Amino acid sequence: MDTLQDQIVYSFQSLWDKLAAFLPNLLAAIIVLILGWLVASLLGQLVQRVLTMIQLDVLANRLGLDRLGAQVGRKLSLAALGGWLIKWFVIVGAFFAAADILNLDNVSNFFVAQVLPYFGHVIAATAILVIGAVAANFLSEVVRGAVRAAGVNVAGAAASITKWSIVVVTVLAALSELQLADDFLRTLYIGIIAMIAIAGGLAFGLGGRDHARKVLDD
Protein backbone atom coordinates (compact mmCIF):
# COMPACT_ATOMS: atom_id res chain seq x y z
CA MET A 1 0.00 0.00 0.00
CA ASP A 2 2.82 2.33 0.94
CA THR A 3 4.56 1.50 -2.32
CA LEU A 4 1.48 2.45 -4.37
CA GLN A 5 1.05 5.64 -2.38
CA ASP A 6 4.70 6.50 -2.87
CA GLN A 7 4.38 5.94 -6.60
CA ILE A 8 1.36 8.25 -6.79
CA VAL A 9 3.13 10.93 -4.76
CA TYR A 10 6.25 10.56 -6.91
CA SER A 11 4.21 10.85 -10.13
CA PHE A 12 2.52 14.05 -8.99
CA GLN A 13 5.82 15.43 -7.73
CA SER A 14 7.49 14.67 -11.05
CA LEU A 15 4.61 16.29 -12.94
CA TRP A 16 4.82 19.37 -10.75
CA ASP A 17 8.58 19.63 -11.21
CA LYS A 18 8.22 19.43 -15.00
CA LEU A 19 5.40 21.97 -14.95
CA ALA A 20 7.40 24.31 -12.72
CA ALA A 21 10.35 24.04 -15.12
CA PHE A 22 8.14 24.57 -18.16
CA LEU A 23 6.12 27.56 -16.93
CA PRO A 24 8.99 30.09 -17.09
CA ASN A 25 9.74 29.04 -20.66
CA LEU A 26 6.06 29.26 -21.55
CA LEU A 27 5.83 32.73 -20.03
CA ALA A 28 8.97 33.83 -21.90
CA ALA A 29 7.57 32.45 -25.16
CA ILE A 30 4.31 34.35 -24.68
CA ILE A 31 6.22 37.56 -23.96
CA VAL A 32 8.32 37.04 -27.12
CA LEU A 33 5.16 36.56 -29.19
CA ILE A 34 3.52 39.69 -27.77
CA LEU A 35 6.64 41.82 -28.19
CA GLY A 36 7.20 40.34 -31.65
CA TRP A 37 3.67 41.30 -32.71
CA LEU A 38 4.11 44.84 -31.39
CA VAL A 39 7.53 45.29 -33.01
CA ALA A 40 6.23 43.79 -36.26
CA SER A 41 3.30 46.20 -36.37
CA LEU A 42 5.49 49.23 -35.63
CA LEU A 43 8.17 48.17 -38.09
CA GLY A 44 5.58 47.47 -40.78
CA GLN A 45 4.08 50.93 -40.32
CA LEU A 46 7.55 52.50 -40.38
CA VAL A 47 8.47 50.76 -43.65
CA GLN A 48 5.15 51.78 -45.19
CA ARG A 49 5.68 55.41 -44.19
CA VAL A 50 9.23 55.44 -45.54
CA LEU A 51 8.09 53.97 -48.86
CA THR A 52 5.27 56.51 -48.96
CA MET A 53 7.72 59.36 -48.24
CA ILE A 54 9.92 58.38 -51.17
CA GLN A 55 6.73 58.41 -53.30
CA LEU A 56 6.94 54.80 -54.41
CA ASP A 57 3.18 54.65 -54.98
CA VAL A 58 3.26 57.88 -57.00
CA LEU A 59 5.83 56.36 -59.34
CA ALA A 60 3.89 53.11 -59.56
CA ASN A 61 0.65 54.96 -60.35
CA ARG A 62 2.38 56.81 -63.15
CA LEU A 63 3.27 53.43 -64.60
CA GLY A 64 -0.32 52.20 -64.32
CA LEU A 65 -0.71 50.67 -60.85
CA ASP A 66 -3.83 52.74 -60.20
CA ARG A 67 -5.41 51.50 -63.45
CA LEU A 68 -4.59 47.94 -62.45
CA GLY A 69 -6.24 48.56 -59.10
CA ALA A 70 -9.34 49.90 -60.85
CA GLN A 71 -9.51 46.72 -62.92
CA VAL A 72 -9.42 44.45 -59.88
CA GLY A 73 -11.71 46.75 -57.89
CA ARG A 74 -9.22 47.46 -55.12
CA LYS A 75 -6.71 50.17 -54.36
CA LEU A 76 -3.18 48.84 -54.71
CA SER A 77 -0.21 50.22 -52.82
CA LEU A 78 3.40 49.08 -53.05
CA ALA A 79 4.14 50.90 -49.80
CA ALA A 80 1.42 48.98 -47.99
CA LEU A 81 2.64 45.73 -49.54
CA GLY A 82 6.19 46.38 -48.35
CA GLY A 83 5.00 47.13 -44.83
CA TRP A 84 2.82 44.01 -44.81
CA LEU A 85 5.69 41.75 -45.89
CA ILE A 86 8.05 43.14 -43.24
CA LYS A 87 5.38 42.86 -40.56
CA TRP A 88 4.67 39.18 -41.21
CA PHE A 89 8.34 38.33 -41.58
CA VAL A 90 8.94 39.64 -38.05
CA ILE A 91 5.84 37.86 -36.72
CA VAL A 92 6.95 34.54 -38.19
CA GLY A 93 10.42 35.13 -36.76
CA ALA A 94 8.91 35.76 -33.31
CA PHE A 95 6.86 32.59 -33.58
CA PHE A 96 9.91 30.45 -34.27
CA ALA A 97 11.90 32.25 -31.56
CA ALA A 98 9.14 31.27 -29.14
CA ALA A 99 9.35 27.70 -30.43
CA ASP A 100 13.08 27.73 -29.75
CA ILE A 101 12.48 28.92 -26.17
CA LEU A 102 10.07 26.00 -25.68
CA ASN A 103 12.82 23.66 -26.93
CA LEU A 104 10.87 22.74 -30.03
CA ASP A 105 14.06 22.17 -31.96
CA ASN A 106 12.43 20.68 -35.04
CA VAL A 107 10.28 23.76 -35.53
CA SER A 108 13.10 26.27 -35.05
CA ASN A 109 15.49 24.26 -37.24
CA PHE A 110 12.87 24.09 -39.96
CA PHE A 111 12.52 27.87 -39.84
CA VAL A 112 16.25 28.49 -40.08
CA ALA A 113 16.88 25.89 -42.77
CA GLN A 114 13.73 26.22 -44.90
CA VAL A 115 11.44 29.15 -44.13
CA LEU A 116 14.02 31.92 -43.72
CA PRO A 117 15.86 31.27 -47.02
CA TYR A 118 12.58 30.77 -48.90
CA PHE A 119 11.18 34.08 -47.66
CA GLY A 120 13.60 35.88 -49.97
CA HIS A 121 12.11 33.99 -52.90
CA VAL A 122 8.61 35.01 -51.80
CA ILE A 123 9.61 38.69 -51.70
CA ALA A 124 11.27 38.43 -55.11
CA ALA A 125 8.24 36.65 -56.61
CA THR A 126 5.91 39.30 -55.19
CA ALA A 127 8.08 42.06 -56.66
CA ILE A 128 8.09 40.28 -60.02
CA LEU A 129 4.28 40.04 -60.03
CA VAL A 130 3.77 43.68 -59.09
CA ILE A 131 6.35 45.04 -61.54
CA GLY A 132 5.08 42.73 -64.28
CA ALA A 133 1.47 43.80 -63.77
CA VAL A 134 2.41 47.49 -63.86
CA ALA A 135 4.62 46.96 -66.92
CA ALA A 136 1.86 45.03 -68.69
CA ASN A 137 -0.62 47.91 -68.32
CA PHE A 138 1.93 50.58 -69.15
CA LEU A 139 3.39 48.89 -72.23
CA SER A 140 -0.02 47.86 -73.56
CA GLU A 141 -1.06 51.51 -73.61
CA VAL A 142 2.24 52.45 -75.29
CA VAL A 143 1.67 49.83 -77.98
CA ARG A 144 -1.96 50.90 -78.42
CA GLY A 145 -0.91 54.51 -78.99
CA ALA A 146 1.93 53.54 -81.34
CA VAL A 147 -0.27 51.29 -83.46
CA ARG A 148 -2.99 53.92 -83.68
CA ALA A 149 -0.42 56.52 -84.70
CA ALA A 150 0.72 54.16 -87.47
CA GLY A 151 -2.82 54.03 -88.80
CA VAL A 152 -3.17 50.26 -88.39
CA ASN A 153 -6.56 48.96 -87.26
CA VAL A 154 -5.27 46.43 -84.76
CA ALA A 155 -4.55 48.72 -81.83
CA GLY A 156 -6.82 46.79 -79.46
CA ALA A 157 -5.45 43.40 -80.48
CA ALA A 158 -1.85 44.58 -80.29
CA ALA A 159 -2.42 46.08 -76.82
CA SER A 160 -4.11 42.90 -75.58
CA ILE A 161 -1.35 40.68 -76.97
CA THR A 162 1.28 42.88 -75.34
CA LYS A 163 -0.50 42.96 -72.01
CA TRP A 164 -1.23 39.26 -71.71
CA SER A 165 2.17 38.28 -73.06
CA ILE A 166 3.80 40.20 -70.22
CA VAL A 167 1.30 38.85 -67.67
CA VAL A 168 1.94 35.25 -68.68
CA VAL A 169 5.71 35.69 -68.69
CA THR A 170 5.50 37.45 -65.32
CA VAL A 171 3.48 34.65 -63.71
CA LEU A 172 5.87 32.05 -65.08
CA ALA A 173 8.84 34.03 -63.81
CA ALA A 174 7.26 34.34 -60.34
CA LEU A 175 6.53 30.60 -60.21
CA SER A 176 10.08 29.89 -61.30
CA GLU A 177 11.39 32.17 -58.55
CA LEU A 178 9.33 30.14 -56.08
CA GLN A 179 11.04 27.02 -57.47
CA LEU A 180 7.77 25.37 -58.42
CA ALA A 181 8.13 22.74 -61.18
CA ASP A 182 11.07 24.42 -62.89
CA ASP A 183 11.38 21.92 -65.76
CA PHE A 184 7.67 22.05 -66.57
CA LEU A 185 7.62 25.84 -66.38
CA ARG A 186 10.65 26.12 -68.66
CA THR A 187 8.96 23.99 -71.34
CA LEU A 188 5.66 25.83 -70.92
CA TYR A 189 7.45 29.18 -71.07
CA ILE A 190 9.11 28.33 -74.41
CA GLY A 191 5.82 27.08 -75.85
CA ILE A 192 3.88 30.16 -74.79
CA ILE A 193 6.52 32.56 -76.11
CA ALA A 194 6.43 30.77 -79.48
CA MET A 195 2.63 30.86 -79.53
CA ILE A 196 2.55 34.57 -78.67
CA ALA A 197 5.13 35.36 -81.35
CA ILE A 198 3.08 33.52 -83.99
CA ALA A 199 -0.19 35.09 -82.86
CA GLY A 200 1.36 38.56 -82.77
CA GLY A 201 2.85 38.13 -86.22
CA LEU A 202 -0.48 37.03 -87.65
CA ALA A 203 -2.34 39.89 -85.95
CA PHE A 204 0.05 42.53 -87.25
CA GLY A 205 0.37 40.88 -90.63
CA LEU A 206 -3.34 40.53 -91.31
CA GLY A 207 -4.27 43.83 -89.72
CA GLY A 208 -1.53 45.78 -91.48
CA ARG A 209 -2.08 44.26 -94.90
CA ASP A 210 -4.24 47.10 -96.16
CA HIS A 211 -1.93 49.72 -94.71
CA ALA A 212 1.08 48.09 -96.36
CA ARG A 213 -0.74 48.03 -99.70
CA LYS A 214 -1.46 51.76 -99.42
CA VAL A 215 2.20 52.46 -98.65
CA LEU A 216 3.33 50.45 -101.66
CA ASP A 217 0.78 52.11 -103.95
CA ASP A 218 1.97 55.54 -102.88
pLDDT at residue 132 in the model: 82
Residue range 33-53: mean pLDDT, rounded: 91
* Mean pLDDT, all residues of the chain: 74
Domain of 95 in residue numbering reads as 1-103
Domain end position, chosen among 68, 103, 138: 103
In this structure, are 213 and 119 located in the same domain?
Answer: yes
Coarse DSSP helix, strand, coil percentages of the chain, rounded to the nearest 5 percent: 90, 0, 10
Burial label for 79, CB within 10 Å (0-12, 13-18, 19+), is buried
Pair (63, 79) in one structural domain: yes
- Go through the chain and tell me how many residues it has: 218
pLDDT at residue 216 greater than cutoff 50: no
Mean pLDDT of 136-154: 75
pLDDT of 212 reads: 45
Residues 38 and 114 grouped into a single domain: no
pLDDT at residue 1, rounded to an integer: 47
